[in-house]
């Protein structure tokens, strides 16, 4: 459907045309007519489907210009970044609509600045629950004239612990209002909110499979957990994205990957919930201005990132909740452009490929790991191209002096060139990542060795974490692992003696619950092999990643707050 078929005002249609939009997405086509009727609405749709226009256009059309300049609409968002993005979009939509003023309020910005903005009047308020509640408590924000309430990314606001603030805010709003809620998922807490605060809402659901994934090439590489970082570096050299995002499941892993990329000379930065709002804002601005080109982030912190020409999305970790896969890959291939989504999986996650293909109704291509020759050929070609460009430029006198001093010391120009090229290229290009198949361990039991890890109860470690880490890192079956003894800060686990050194090497590259592990071997345990049983403190939890397949996806428990 075209936008001009939706009974929108000429001013809104003109603004939409300026932004290059002509045809609606599914959520826009189904949502806008309902909102224009003033009905309550629940919209279930994924990131990247055009939700801001779906509620923003009819919301702006409902604004009646007034000298009072008191808020007629309130939009609540889970994060500062999403609040800013939504407000920016609304201002673009209202470009030709006179008398509509939007103000954004969020944590991390001086509240005095926001108080001045509010005193100047606002028709639309966009903000995070915590800061909205602050202004209500200070009596700097009143809602006597409110007509429309929008809860954007409602599931995320609840995941981030904002339920109490949301319910407090709702108690201050007029009973007679239009309430609109958008959420990617519909867990019970969301349904409870709809029952308590909405009047006979229309329910519009856009299936994940309706997302535009036809423009996204989905690629899979299978490797062991301990070699993921090396593989990521090689893939960055092979694909050379101009703008990309790397998703990790933990804040620590985000920091580790960002530090690794920076140490290798990439323009990368981390963003997650533990960072101060001011720093997150600086990072986001640099990313949008292309001053950095790789953003390493968690799912929650990535909300509000709106970049149409993202080349590649890397899933360093597969998300812990199935819906988030669609959220992530939907950040590339936007605005009719093509994009690539690359996921790094371990051998134990193979079954998830079928789950993801059913979810997106698209083929995921599994590619072999890059060979050493392929990586070197690409890297060397890139280096020669860069060197030719540099050789065409004038070299500063200070650099010439360094070269002359080295020549005086007896080094030839050829020696100096080799050393500089090796330093520039780095040793990573000479590493070959072994296929996981070559690491699968066939165990003929001859007894056990003790493997001692420097994590324990103090780190929240359970037997399931230990078994999963060793099995994924080394390729052995979880049933070949012996007794596990978890202490306060160390854990001892019995591993097959015939592969103990290989297991030690792989485990020392792995992490458990975001902790980098240091493991050592102890003398062989002189006792016969006993077939591993499951249950009790030594049980192995297979309900990982996307949860037990027979019970559906597991809800993740995010603790990041705005």
Please check whether residues 240 and 386 belong to one and the same domain. Answer: no
Return the higher-pLDDT residue of 31 and 562: 31
User: Considering 179, 206, 233, which residue would you say is the last residue of a domain?
Assistant: 206
Q: Cβ–Cβ contacts within 10 Å for residue 358, how many?
A: 11
The β-bridge partners of 180 are 41, 150
pLDDT digits (tens, 9 = 90+) for 389-409: 888 888 888 888 888 888 899
Q: Is residue 211 part of a domain?
A: no
**CA 284 remoteness from chain centre:** 14
Q: Is residue 124 part of a domain?
A: yes
Give yes or no for residue 295 having a pLDDT over 50. Answer: yes
Mean pLDDT of the region 166-177: 94
Q: Can you tell me which residue has the tokens 């080109």?
A: 293
Alpha-carbon span 234 to 236, nearest angstrom = 5
| Bridge-based pairing state of the strands 364-366 and 312-315 | unpaired
Which one is predicted more confidently, 283 or 555? 283
Whether residue 342 lies inside any domain: the answer is yes
- pLDDT at site 322: 67
Domain presence at residue 506: yes
Q: What element of type H or E holds 324?
A: helix 323-329
Both 465 and 317 in one domain: the answer is no
Percent of the chain surpassing pLDDT 70: 85
Alpha-carbon span 231 to 314, nearest angstrom: 11
Round to whole Å and give the CA distance between 475 and 222.
Answer: 12
* Cα–Cα distance, 334 to 214 (Å, whole number): 11
Residue found under tokens 């030594």: 538
CATH (domain of 90): 3.40.50.300
Q: Are residues 28 and 108 in the same domain?
A: yes
The domain of 325 spans 216-366
Q: Among 351, 366, 381, give the residue marking a domain's end.
A: 366
User: Does the pLDDT at position 136 exceed 90?
Assistant: yes
336, 20 in Cβ contact below 8 A? Answer: no
Q: Name the nearest CA neighbour of 88 among 15, 170, 190, 169.
A: 15
Q: So what's the pLDDT on residue 432?
A: 75
Reply yes or no on whether the pLDDT at 442 is more than 80: no
- CATH of residue 492: 3.30.70.330
What is the spatial distance between Cα 215 and Cα 533, in angstroms, rounded to a whole number? 47
Determine how β-strand 448-453 pairs with β-strand 491-496. antiparallel
Mean pLDDT along residues 81-99: 90
Of the pLDDT bands very low, low, confident and very high (cuts 50, 70, 90), residue 482 is confident
Average pLDDT for residues 352-358, to the nearest whole number?
Answer: 82
Q: Are residues 305 and 362 in the same domain?
A: yes
Q: Which helix (H) or strand (E) holds 466?
A: helix 463-474
Residue 164: inside a domain: yes
DSSP state of 2: B
What does the pLDDT read at residue 474?
Answer: 74
CA distance 424 to 432: 19
Average pLDDT, the chain: 82
User: Mean pLDDT throughout 108-126?
Assistant: 92
Report the range of poorest mean pLDDT among 20-24, 419-423, 425-429. Answer: 425-429
For residue 362, tell me if it sits in a domain: yes
Based on the domain organization, do 149 and 190 belong to the same domain? yes
Bigger pLDDT: 214 or 240?
240
Average pLDDT over residues 250-266: 89
Is residue 557 a part of any domain in this protein?
A: no
Task: Say if residue 380 is in the same domain as residue 461.
Answer: no
Confidence of residue 531 (pLDDT cuts 50, 70, 90): low
pLDDT of 537 higher than 80: no
C-alpha span between 190 and 103 (Å, rounded): 27
Judgement on whether residues 128 and 80 belong to the same structural domain of the protein: yes
- Per-residue model confidence (pLDDT) at position 67: 75
Helices 51-62 + 80-93 axis angle, to 10 = 60
Most confident of 8-17, 353-362, 466-475: 8-17
Both 490 and 426 in one domain: the answer is no
- Asked if 188 and 247 sit in the same domain, the reply is no
Report yes or no on 546 lying in a domain. Answer: no
220 and 343, same domain (yes or no): yes
Is 554 buried (19+), middle (13-18) or exposed (0-12) by CB count in 10 A? Answer: middle
User: Cα–chain-centroid distance for residue 252?
Assistant: 14
Nearest to 472 by CA among 318, 343, 345: 345
Q: Which string of DSSP letters, residue by residue, matches 186-197?
A: --HHHHHHHHHH
Q: Which of 389, 404, 430 is the last residue of a domain?
A: 430
DSSP E strands in 424-518: the ranges are: 448-453, 484-486, 491-496, 511-512, 515-516
Distance separating alpha carbons of residues 248 and 254, to the nearest angstrom: 6
Overall number of domains in the chain = 4
Q: Where are the strands (E) in 77-115, listed by range?
A: 102-105
335 pLDDT band, cuts 50/70/90, is low
Residues making up the chain, counted from first to last: 562
355/463 same-domain check: no
Top-confidence range, 3-12, 188-197, 220-229: 3-12
Q: How many other CB atoms are found less than 10 A from the CB of residue 516?
A: 14
Q: How far is CA 328 from CA 185, 213, 299, 322, 331, in A?
A: 15, 12, 8, 11, 6
Q: Are residues 20 and 151 in the same domain?
A: yes
3-state secondary structure of 535: coil
């Amino acid at each position: 459907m075209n936008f001009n078929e939706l009974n929108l005002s000429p001013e809104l249609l003109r603004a939409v045309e300026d932004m290059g939009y002509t045809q609606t997405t599914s959520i826009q086509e189904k949502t806008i007519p309902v909102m224009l009727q003033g009905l309550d609405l629940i919209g279930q749709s994924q990131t990247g489907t055009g939700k801001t226009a779906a509620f923003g256009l009819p919301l702006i059309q409902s604004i009646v210009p007034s000298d009072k300049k008191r808020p007629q609409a309130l939009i609540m968002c889970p994060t500062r970044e999403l609040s800013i993005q939504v407000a920016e979009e609304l201002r673009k939509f209202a470009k030709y609509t006179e008398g509509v003023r939007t103000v954004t309020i969020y944590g991390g910005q001086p509240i005095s600045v926001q108080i001045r903005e509010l005193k100047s009047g606002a028709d639309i308020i966009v903000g995070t629950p915590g800061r909205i509640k602050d202004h209500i408590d200070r009596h700097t924000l009143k809602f006597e004239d409110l007509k429309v309430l929008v809860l954007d990314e409602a599931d995320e606001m609840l995941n981030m612990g904002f339920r109490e603030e949301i319910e407090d805010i709702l108690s201050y709003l007029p009973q007679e209002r239009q309430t609109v809620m958008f959420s990617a998922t519909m867990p019970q807490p969301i349904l409870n909110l709809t029952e308590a605060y909405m009047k006979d809402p229309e329910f519009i659901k856009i299936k994940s499979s309706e997302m535009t994934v036809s423009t996204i090439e989905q690629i899979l590489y299978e490797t062991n957990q301990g070699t993921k970082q090396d593989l990521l570096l090689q893939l960055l050299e092979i694909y050379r994205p101009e703008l990309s995002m790397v998703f990790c499941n933990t804040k620590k892993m985000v920091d580790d990957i960002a530090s690794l990329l920076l140490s290798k000379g990439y323009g990368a930065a981390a963003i997650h919930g533990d960072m101060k709002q001011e720093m997150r804002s600086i990072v986001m601005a640099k990313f949008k201005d292309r001053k950095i080109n790789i953003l390493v982030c968690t799912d929650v912190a990535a909300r509000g990132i709106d970049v149409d020409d993202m080349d590649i999305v890397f899933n360093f970790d597969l998300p812990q909740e199935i819906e988030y896969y669609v959220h992530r890959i939907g950040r590339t291939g936007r605005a009719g452009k093509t994009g690539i989504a690359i996921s790094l999986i371990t051998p134990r996650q193979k079954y998830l490929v079928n789950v993801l293909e059913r979810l997106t109704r698209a083929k995921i291509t599994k590619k072999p790991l890059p060979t050493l020759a392929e990586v070197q050929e690409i890297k060397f070609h890139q280096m020669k191209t860069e060197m030719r460009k540099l050789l065409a430029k004038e070299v500063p006198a200070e650099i010439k002096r360094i070269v002359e001093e080295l020549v005086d010391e007896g080094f030839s120009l050829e020696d100096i060139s080799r050393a500089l090229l090796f330093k520039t290229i780095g040793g990573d290009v000479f590493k070959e990542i072994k296929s996981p198949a070559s690491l699968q361990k066939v165990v003929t039991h001859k007894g056990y060795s003790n493997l001692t890890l420097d994590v324990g109860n103090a780190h929240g470690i359970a037997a399931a974490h230990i078994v999963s880490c060793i099995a994924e890192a080394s390729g052995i079956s979880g049933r070949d692992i012996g007794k596990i003894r978890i202490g306060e800060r160390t854990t001892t686990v019995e591993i097959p003696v015939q592969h103990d050194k290989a297991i030690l090497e792989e485990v020392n590259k792995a992490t458990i619950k975001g902790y980098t592990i240091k493991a050592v071997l102890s003398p062989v345990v002189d006792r016969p092999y006993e077939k591993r049983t499951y249950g009790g403190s030594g049980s192995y939890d297979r309900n990982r990643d996307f949860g037990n397949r027979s019970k559906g996806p597991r809800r993740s428990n995010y603790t990041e707050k705005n």
